[in-house]
Structure 1
């Protein structure tokens, strides 16, 4: 399986844990995208080759050129990625972490409101906001990050997968606007296309962290069949990349 490896980030690093749990098979990272492989969770669809089987990946930004068609598509993150890839209208949609509530049980213990910054913004967020709000560092082990989000009373998240996990567990959440290094909102809108309504971005400010507008928090309702998504991802993971 191929996934993004760089600055530690739970939304990328969760790939082996997630797919091993749903398939019962060992998942190994590959750099050889010229050989048959899976593309896993993340904004990595532009990395697809003719040897890729896509398991819920999406595009980071819309492409100016015609993207490479993967060998097979089991699921895509959202409708924007489906349109950009010119995939069939009946393609399964859903980020795999929309199934995060099937990875672990929601902890009984509740913490207060927490903030999940983007991984590149984690140190700055802790420095600026830790006195006002609990900061969940997305660079920590992925299952620990998921458990912390699930245990929160509410979540502000600049991280896409922070929002996805919060929605999966029914934790009210609010979107902190992406910073300049995050390349815009395409991946967010791609995910929002699978929900009953989009989320509104709020500027990441000290005021937001100290006095979050509770009326603006919401839980996105996933519009697609989670059982069907889970079954398709599990079956593909067991069978291996499409020949």
Structure 2
């Protein structure tokens, strides 16, 4: 699926308004929307899907957000005794990231999205899926094409991280200043870009500091919070910039389709955006349009009931 056109002598890409054109896998439209099965979770454990890189010991900060966020939300709502564990064979929570291709019978979706590389074809065999919120309208349309109800509650839950982990990020500020020095402009590559094209970052433009996506989420957030500009081919680098109110520009990943980026941009109300082929191009470009993001609907959509949980506190507002 390709969106947009090339600008500036093929140096930048500015997508046009995207449409989800892939049909339902069975070629039909469901007459009755699918609903979630109830009672699939025991109220004592949240089984959470958590993608990890194949390379042993390697992590990607964006994919580390879901267990951290879910744990923090449970703790803030009087559910510290509820365990969060990696998903097994049964129903699971899909939270944060382009992971809907992993959805199976009885699963619960909170803020996750469709990956442009892997269309979630297995959903044609799923009868019960509870969708509390999604990353953006492209994911919503994709789910609707499979016959599922998907509310218009948009936004990557990573937007919650800077506020929910405010104290930890503040404490990490001095650590990252010692580690990186003065870093007004930071570049956060997508994990595949950094892993498979290391020569791309051997010599960055002067004044640009590389922040590896294998850095912890708290340290990445601390770097973003003190930056003047964020350039990123990592989606969650852009998410963190938006959450921290820091200007940002999108660098085109060599490996990631732009579907997930456009899905996120449209979900937060950013109707104009550009992707730049080089970091040098990004340095000369305009910032992505600033957006005012209300994170309360994302937090309020956390699927306590679908997970069999009853919060003893009401701390769902930031």
Same fold by TM-score greater than 0.5: yes
Q: Secondary structure at the match of 2:115?
A: coil
Does 2:132 match 1:74?
Answer: yes
What is residue 8 of structure 1 aligned with on the other side? Answer: 59
Structure 2: tracts of 5 or more residues without a match: 1-47, 310-318
Change beyond 3 A, Cα 1:215–1:63: closer
Change beyond 3 A, Cα 1:236–1:56: farther
Q: Secondary structure at the match of 1:175?
A: strand
Distance in 2 between residues matched to 1:169 and 1:154, nearest whole Å: 11
1:215 to 258, 275, 286: 286
What is residue 300 of structure 2 aligned with on the other side? Answer: 231
Retained in 1: the 8 A contact 2:71–2:84? no
What's the RMSD between the two structures over aligned residues? 2.8
Distance in 2 between residues matched to 1:239 and 1:85, nearest whole Å: 23
Structure 1 consecutive aligned stretches of length 4 or more whose deviation exceeds 4 Å: 106-110, 236-240
Q: Counting helix residues as a fraction of each chain, which structure ranks higher?
A: 1
Per-residue displacement from partner, 1:61-90 (whole Å, max 9, x unpaired)? 273847346521111111101100114363
Normalising to structure 2: TM-score of the pair? 0.65
What is residue 86 of structure 2 aligned with on the other side? Answer: 30
Structure 1: tracts of 5 or more residues without a match: none
Between 196-205 and 157-166, report the one with greater CA deviation. Answer: 196-205
Cα offset, 1:237, TM superposition: 8.8
Cα offset, 1:30, TM superposition: 2.2
Does 2:97 match 1:42?
Answer: yes
What is residue 203 of structure 2 aligned with on the other side? Answer: 128
What is residue 114 of structure 2 aligned with on the other side? Answer: 59
Cα offset, 1:128, TM superposition: 2.8
Superposition map of 1:60-139 within 5 A? 60-61=115-116, 63=119, 65=121, 67=123, 68=126, 71-86=129-144, 87-88=148-149, 90-105=151-166, 107=170, 111-122=183-194, 124=198, 125-129=200-204, 132-139=207-214
Normalising to structure 1: TM-score of the pair? 0.83
Q: Secondary structure at the match of 1:193?
A: helix
Superposition map of 1:177-216 within 5 A? 177-179=252-254, 181-182=255-256, 184-197=257-270, 198-205=272-279, 207-208=280-281, 212-213=283-284, 215-216=286-287
Cα offset, 1:136, TM superposition: 0.9
Q: Secondary structure at the match of 1:229?
A: helix
Change beyond 3 A, Cα 1:66–1:35: closer
Distance in 1 between residues matched to 2:127 and 2:50, nearest whole Å: 17
